[in-house]
Structure 1
Amino acid sequence: MPKYLLRLLCFTMILGALPVIVIGSVSYTIASRDIEQKVRESNLQILHQTQMRVEQVLRSLQLSSIQYVNSPLVLRAMKQPLDSSEFQEIRDLTSGFNNLQAVTSIDQAYLVNLDEDWVVSMRSFGKLSDFSIRDRIGTYLTYTNSLFWVTQNKSSAKESVPVSAGMGEALTEQAQPPTLISSDNVVSMVFKIPMVPTNVKPKGFLVIDIADAELSSFLSRNPNSGDLYVLDQDQQYFLNDTNYGSKYDQLNKDIQEKVQMSGESQGFFSAEVEDKPVAVSYRQSPLNGWLYVSVVSLGQITAQSQKIAVVTGVATLIMLCVTGLVAIYGSRRMYSPISRLLQFTKGLDSPLPPAGRRQDEFIYIEERLSTLFSSEQTMREQMKGQHVHLQEFFMTKLLTGKISEEDFRYQGELYDFPTGWSHLGVLMLQIDTLEGTRYEEKDRDLLLFAVNNMVGELLPSEIRFTPVMLDDAQVTVLASSLKDELQLKEWMHKQADWIRERVVTYLNLPVSIGISRAYSSIGATPRAYQESREALQGRVSLGSRIILHYEDIQPRGQMEAALYTQLRMIEDQLASALKQGDEEKTDMYFRQYLGLLADKKLHFSEYPVIMVQLLSRVYQLVQEQGGDVAEVLGEKASMAYLLKLSTLDEMTSWFRKRLFLPVIRFWREQEESQYMNIARRMIRLIEERYDRDLSLEACAEELNFHPVYLSRVFKKEAGVNFTEYLAEYRMEKAKTWLQTTDLKIAEIAEKLNYTNPTAFIRTFRKITGTTPGKYREQQR
């Protein structure tokens, strides 16, 4: 068997068998734990159900007893002495005890009046001093609560009522007086009457005894829950019919310590009782402090998991056999590519492989592929040169919100970003303007690139992330360990001032820097980026060459209606000046417009809105003359270009150069074109109607213009007034007819719409300097 095939087979066996063994072990462990968990939850549930059953009875009895204690009958009886002659009242009191029997079986109940020294029970009546329970009542005075529970009253012996305590004939007829306390193992519920504060002696007590056997009937007897018993507040057994002796004494102490230390009312833990492991579940009642305890042997719990262990073992063996078969088959299949690769690499070298290489296939393959590894190393060196570009790309995604905090924590270490910072801040640098500098607009991107390189060299890598160019700005994320907000703000301002100073010194370039608020979560970087951009917008109202913090931007106010009205009036005057082509008035009204904005000290965010309104008004002027905005004003006069302007000086210069001057030229051209069109139409009317009665008023009615306006337009375009041009045109027609026809002078005058030949001759002589007759003779 080939060397590597054997190794591959062994490795595959180990690789396949190990998960099977691990999975089998883990499955058994998990199953055992699940069973133990289920048993624990089941025991806790049984304890909870047992507690709820017992407490439901006790609470119901408690509520009924409270109603009895607060009844007018009891309250009245506690204020007066009582003897055996008051048979009806004693019967009424005992009948109340009988009503309590509806809740549960009561072993005994008695009402004690300390001040009047009498006792009324379910079966007897007498003076308190005649019974030995006075000692027991005395111990009740030491309790601070108005309602409390007493268990294991073995000290209270059975006491008979003396003959003097009989209740009339009904009592004396009994053969023996009834006992006051009928059982040694009872749970007593004691009410102070009235339910007074702890520092006031009560007038009496209501004591209700419930036999332990009665409450024991509510305990669960499920064999799977083990030993279940109840402890009172003194850690004494009761309510159980099994005598555990001292078996669980140490366990009970452990439970009490866990309850006191943890403060939790329920729990589960493992312990040893008589050298046997057990699982203990416990719950403490908030009603009376009793502890409900369940003790189950761990052997009983794990017995159920033995079947799982057997099934798991068998399944593991079967899977190991299957794994062995698959390993043999798979190893051969996996070795076949190595064999083919070995044959291929041998072919690369020579038909016959050199001696010695047949012993180790991979050494031979390694030698043949060494050239590929060297090529890979060369590629790695080239990738290092792209590391900076990858950093910039990562920062661009971070600033635009395309990187989550989880991605940053993973990839940030790869790019050697600062660590150990407590706060971050974003600096955004923008070029204020290129006008008045030695640079042109086409140099803006190159200048930003130069500034970005300068920032990378000026600031140490420990306090900044990789600087990037984003849109029309240079952006830098600063990292600082400072925690004081004021110190942090001063530190970021200092870094921004240092950058601006160096840019002015080396590039002589006017720039402004916006600074965001400090933040601690890397996920807030996109918001901080927007804050730095908003801070730079303050240049509109504050000017250029400044450093602006986001916190220092004034809150936005509302534009007054009066201001809007004034701006509209100046807009109308400005539009009128543009129509008239008056550059001086246009510039004057625009200065008034800007001055009004400056006086009102508007927030910087209002400027773009107002400027867009003015831009729309200028667009409207172009459209009124039938012009196309893009053709008349050009691409740089668009609204998008206006919104890119960051300072008021840039906006002012842009309006004057890109809007006002082109609009004035356009209006002049359109007006001249309109004048020429009107003049042509009037000349056409003259050519068509020269032989009819034609006047300036007739032309005005035909062309739908005022006669005075037509006279001014015709004079400007033709150089002569309308009447003179009409006369000259008619005389030119007369010359043609005189030369080419034999029409008489009178006939020509009639054809030219002259009323008499004399007026025609006078006009002809005035224009040509000779009479029509002489003109005909001269031309012939």
Structure 2
Amino acid sequence: MPKYLLRLLGYSFILAAVPVISIGLISYFIASGDIEDKVKDGNMQVLTQTQMGVEQVLKTLELTSLQFVNSPTVASSLNEDLDYNDFAKLRDLSKGLYNLQTFTSVREAYLINLNKDWMVSFSMFSKFSTFADHDIISSYAKQPNSLFWVTGQWGANGDSSDAEDSAGEAAGHPEVIRLVYKIPVIPMTTQPKGLLIVEIENRQISNLLSKNKKLGEVYVLDREGSDFLGDNHETGGNKAIYGLVTDKLRASGEDSGFFNAYADGKELGISYRSSPYNGWIYVSAASIEEITKQSKKIAWVTFIACSAIFILVALFALYASRRMYSPIKRLFEVTKDIEVEGKSHNDEFVWIEERFRTLFSTEKQLQQQVVGQFTQLKEFFMLKLFTGQLSDSDFAYRSEQFGFPAGWAKLGVITVQIDTLQESRFQENDKELLLFAINNMVGELVSQQERFSPVLLEQSQVTLLACRFEDETECKAYFFRMAETIKRTIHSYLQLPISIGISRPFDRPVDAVRAYRECLEALKSRMSLGNEIIVHYEDIDAGRRELEITVYTQLKLLEDQLIQALKLGDMDHVHQSFDKYIAVIVDKGIHVNEYPVLMMQLIAKAFQLIQEQGGMVKKVLGPRATMDYFLKLNTLENIVRWFKAELFEPITRYLNEQAESQYVNIADRMVKLVHERFDQDISLEGCASILNFHPVYLSRVFKKEMGINFSEYLTDYRMSMAKTWLETTSLKISEIAEKLNYTNTTAFIRTFRKLVGMTPGQYRDEFLKQ
């Protein structure tokens, strides 16, 4: 919006907004304060009602329990040493305990005789010393009060630690509150005779709490500030609030109060009451957002009223200001088509001034802006020519506009490619920058009258040369001289190995597409001629020769030998077979275009070898051993190096690791078979049948891993079992021989004497003498 118009509208808005916003804020805060006070009073009443309801239930249970404790049956039983034979007495005590269940929230009750070491509950009679909660219940007798309440989680052992809360609930031990009566109620000594313990489930007390969500959540805390009725999963915010409540009680000394606090990112109004009956703290937490919800309605009404006033003022101010602003607007609109770069103003007069300054810019400045993009346009034009997007007429028209050479007799294309960066001072990621440098060098070495704009196309630097000679032989010589100059200069400055392909001379500019392909075809001859060459397309044998079937057969045989050598892990044999493979391809005169097709078959077999062993090609070989990377290699030297370093060596290393792992597994399985079937007719051929391997292979693997032949290991194990039986049993020599699968006792004795140095009988006699 225009600056002056915005000022006028802003002034009008301020006049209307200040009184309306002031009235709305005052109304909102007054209403919020009144509603908050009402909620505080309501929450305190709820806490009072909740406290009275809970304490009425607890006191009722106290009176019922006191009647039972003071009954003659309990009084007389405390002096008796009861056992299971006192059925009548135990029945009366159990009946008295059952009467406590008229109060429906009672979960369990225990009558304990501390002096006579027995206890009775709803479901059992036992020795108190054997009870799981013996220690914790014994500690109750040391409490100074005759009647008190104990809160917490009680499992099978009676512990009430927080760490066992969730475990106790899951194991079927609900959270309980214990009422403890010392017997007699008025003790004569510090040590009571007995205890009455009544357990109430926490959820029974929780049911008595207020469920009015509009007035907030109600919690009950013990003297330490712990929410013993909760689910023991309180958030950090709730625990902090409980701590604040207990601190407030201790600091103020008052039984009730109210304060605000934050929990879990929400502001809460906290009301609390402390009970003089048992010290429990009743807490109500209500959301301030809920408390002030009604006051927000007033805020919305105020907002709508303000908005209506704002709209009316805005409409009036907009109409009046437009009438006053119209002269400036007309001048601004007249100059809006003048673009000003690098300027940004909100002041209309400053904009008008800058636009008038732009009108007085010189013609030289405009020309400099165009020249900066002229070179890019020429390169884009040449790219369209080399990709076949121009006709002869388009080329003639644009060529004259761009100032390209004219009056030429022949045209030719030279293409420069970097052979390799492996032995240079550059990295692979420097390749694009190097091609850009080469493109600039070519532009400086060849004058503008002899060439069109050099361009970068894919991984090549391409230049269209203009030749003034009619004779094609002279044109070829001229192209070759230019290529030599380029190659020599690049090597001098960058020390890069490059090769240059030269097309055949041609007449029509649109044939530049074909000429560029001829250069690429000529550069493929590096596969057989090597790096750093300058080659004419006409000097290579472009015709494809038919490979004889014997050549394919020979290559397939060498591939199979190579793969077999890889499986055996014999790198010397691998290199020898691959050298023969390359020699066949080169000696048989296979065309350079056939190289990738033939070699991809070998690569596929190598990949398959990894997959057969359960490996992943990319994980075993790494990122450089891919088909895409292989197809980018343009010399035979680089291809041979890639096969040996990136393909064969990782595969051999992987297969050797797999073989070693497999050897250990096979040997362990063979040893296990010997230990399980030494008393049967077991042999190497039998193991081979079970493990699905050739016997010769199993023999070699076992010998390598165990350092002993299979038959020798079997004999040694049988003789060790024979010595064990001779030492620990009274079996006859013939029986031992039969158990070890020897059909001839004499053969067993001969084998035992050969390995042990004495006969089985002599060995047993020597052992008995010890």
Normalising by structure 1, what TM-score?
0.48
Normalising by structure 2, what TM-score?
0.48
**Structure number with larger C-alpha Rg:** 1
